[in-house]
Structure 1
């Protein structure tokens, strides 16, 4: 009798579970499907007869690099073609708010097909569009600018053409451009017509003016290649000392900043003894790429950036070096009046570390002025940096430095 009761209970629970699955509201089903990789979303067709075509309710179509790698592992990468993408798009019944397309090196998609998809999506309530192209540079049609609901736009390796009637993207929150050419117009024209932008990342495109970026009062995340700014001296790729504080004064809400110094030289920099105001009052994460530690101006700039950012929590610096090296003793005398006072700094990463006196001076100042510091991660340019007697000397110096934080650790990673 007990066994019969147990069996009937098991059957009843199975029926209840099936009823719950089959009776889910459409919005709940769509929410579940949109959170799954597309291959798993399509597989839900086997759950029951009622779920056979539920995947047609997808509003996110993500054909990214991970999906392509999945097809490669199965040996069916030939499936990834225009015909099957057309079939997927036509099977989806409702709005398509997110579309991600990855074009690998070994695939060729006709630009007319891509533009047909863009035109189709522009009428489907598109909010997020990503094109990561690893092949030839396609020229996108102007239909992408008719997606007035667009909130996120990511384009890698393509060209754009403005429509004559372009009035802007009022809802755009995130703009990520890499190797994007403009047939007419410029990046500045998108920026000044996208007042809601909070995230701006761009690289390898035409020149842009700082005054155009300054219009983005809501900007919180900025990736800025300094060599692309209109204020740089193009002939010698020099950047004046007043440029960086200007960025902070224009963008008071900035929380994440990536400054790329590749192909640029900073000059005329000096650390001020009296700072009238804090240039980056909200900055929490700072990345400085390709900072030349052989230069006095560059090292002084690093200290000034830190001082300008009282709420800084995360700092990442990628170093580069030239033959000419400023004496660390000379720099140290210039920095004697500086007290770091980095109350909120938690984590520091130094990449391409070569163990120069200037880099060691930076580590010393960070350890002495950061009472909340948890970790400094050092990634040397080569394993030779910490090899031999010179490596032992660097280790000894790091161990002897005063630490304002009793829990601060210095971790060294090398192969």
Structure 2
């Protein structure tokens, strides 16, 4: 029998490995969209995919990641060294780093210090730490070395006093929830974020008061989430809030928390300010006490002073049925009301009769 020699060439009918032959940037895009553990497990797909996960640009250690670790083995298993190993294996830039810290995971501050220092050399753009422990996590001073940072989200953390020349010069969004600062440096830091467009501040109780003039430095703000009890004014008037609108010419979304605030209704005849918030499209007001005529009046003035408003949501401070305060309907400029462009109104806890003024 004549011996047949194989040429070693693949048969024309053999399917081409299209996935492995994709450009690196496409593969990286796919890996970044997968959960972290799934991206790392692509290592077993084929020889061509071995260590492809080192091309990741986003490292997301979120709540779902820790739930996966616990569910996979049936008991809690986590080695903090795994994060350090992953960081060291990633070849290129790391643009996003999210860290969720469950209350049953203890992290050494020195480890976080090393990670932040490492990320500062990797072009990090988005950084997030969600700390679920009761005790705030003390952030390392190296966090101020993240000069390319554009998005920062922190929960239950503590900042050491920032040096006068430190800040985040390129930050676009800043989300602070239960974040405390040494020596009252909160607004000292925020005022140096001149490019910030989204500012979210959520605290359980007032820690540091702020002057309107300090908020006025943030000329690029498009979205503001702010508890009014943080203003240094003991009693708030409509003029204070309208002044805030005048400081922020690009503001499109405003979330105001009226909780723990004292309002005073201004005396005397005053013209309605029809363009207090000329660019505002979304207005969300929390914790309105419908037993307070001055607070309710201020909310209405904000609505009528936003001619381009599209979405409105109002949340009551409590669910109890209360008597409506005396509200002079003759004060309402119905011509202005007819010009409002409201498309969606979410009353959120309000009874229908309380919306009759609108």
Q: Please, which runs of 5 or more residues in structure 2 have no aligned partner?
A: 1-10
**For the Cα contact (< 8 Å) 2:98–2:128, is it kept in 1?**
yes
1:311 maps to which of 304, 308, 312: 308
Alpha-carbon distance between aligned partners in 1 of 2:258 and 2:185, rounded to the nearest angstrom:
22
Alpha-carbon distance between aligned partners in 1 of 2:112 and 2:172, rounded to the nearest angstrom:
23
Deviates more, 1:85-94 or 1:123-132: 85-94
> Deviation at 1:325?
5.5
Deviates more, 1:265-274 or 1:41-50: 265-274
Show CA shifts across 1:21-50 (max 9, x none).
122222222122112221221232233211
Change (3 A) 1:345 1:50: same
Alpha-carbon distance between aligned partners in 2 of 1:277 and 1:332, rounded to the nearest angstrom:
18
1:370-381 correspondence to structure 2 within 5 Å: none
**For the Cα contact (< 8 Å) 1:273–1:337, is it kept in 2?**
no
2:228 maps to which of 220, 226, 229: 226
Matched, 1:338 2:337: no
> Deviation at 1:13?
7.3
Show CA shifts across 1:102-156 (max 9, x none).
0112221122222221122112111111000011212111111111100011111
Alpha-carbon distance between aligned partners in 2 of 1:270 and 1:73, rounded to the nearest angstrom:
62
**For the Cα contact (< 8 Å) 1:294–1:321, is it kept in 2?**
no
TM-score by length of 1: 0.76
Aligned counterpart, 2:172: 173
Change (3 A) 1:316 1:324: closer
Change (3 A) 1:277 1:351: closer
Deviates more, 1:258-267 or 1:161-170: 161-170
1:211-360 correspondence to structure 2 within 5 Å: 211-230=213-232, 232-233=233-234, 238-269=235-266, 274-275=271-272, 278-321=275-318, 327=324, 330-339=326-335, 340-341=337-338, 343-353=340-350, 355=351, 360=353
Alpha-carbon distance between aligned partners in 2 of 1:174 and 1:13, rounded to the nearest angstrom:
53
Aligned counterpart, 2:212: 210
How many residues are matched? 343
Aligned counterpart, 2:144: 145
> Deviation at 1:164?
3.2
Change (3 A) 1:273 1:322: farther
Deviates more, 1:179-188 or 1:252-261: 179-188
Alpha-carbon distance between aligned partners in 2 of 1:157 and 1:165, rounded to the nearest angstrom:
23
Aligned counterpart, 1:50: 48
Considering fraction of residues, name the structure with more helix: 1
Aligned counterpart, 1:125: 123
Alpha-carbon distance between aligned partners in 1 of 2:320 and 2:84, rounded to the nearest angstrom:
56
Aligned counterpart, 1:15: 15
Alpha-carbon distance between aligned partners in 2 of 1:347 and 1:364, rounded to the nearest angstrom:
16
Alpha-carbon distance between aligned partners in 2 of 1:98 and 1:76, rounded to the nearest angstrom:
29
Aligned counterpart, 1:37: 35
Change (3 A) 1:323 1:308: same
> Deviation at 1:262?
1.3
**For the Cα contact (< 8 Å) 1:222–1:256, is it kept in 2?**
yes
User: Relative contact order, CA 8 A, sep 6+: which one is greater?
Assistant: 2
> Deviation at 1:323?
8.6
Task: Give RMSD over aligned pairs.
Answer: 2.5
Change (3 A) 1:63 1:276: same
> Deviation at 1:342?
5.1
**For the Cα contact (< 8 Å) 1:252–1:279, is it kept in 2?**
no
Matched, 1:26 2:18: no
Deviates more, 1:249-258 or 1:106-115: 106-115
Alpha-carbon distance between aligned partners in 2 of 1:130 and 1:316, rounded to the nearest angstrom:
28
TM-score by length of 2: 0.88
Alpha-carbon distance between aligned partners in 2 of 1:122 and 1:201, rounded to the nearest angstrom:
24
Q: Please, which runs of 5 or more residues in structure 1 have no aligned partner?
A: 1-10, 367-415
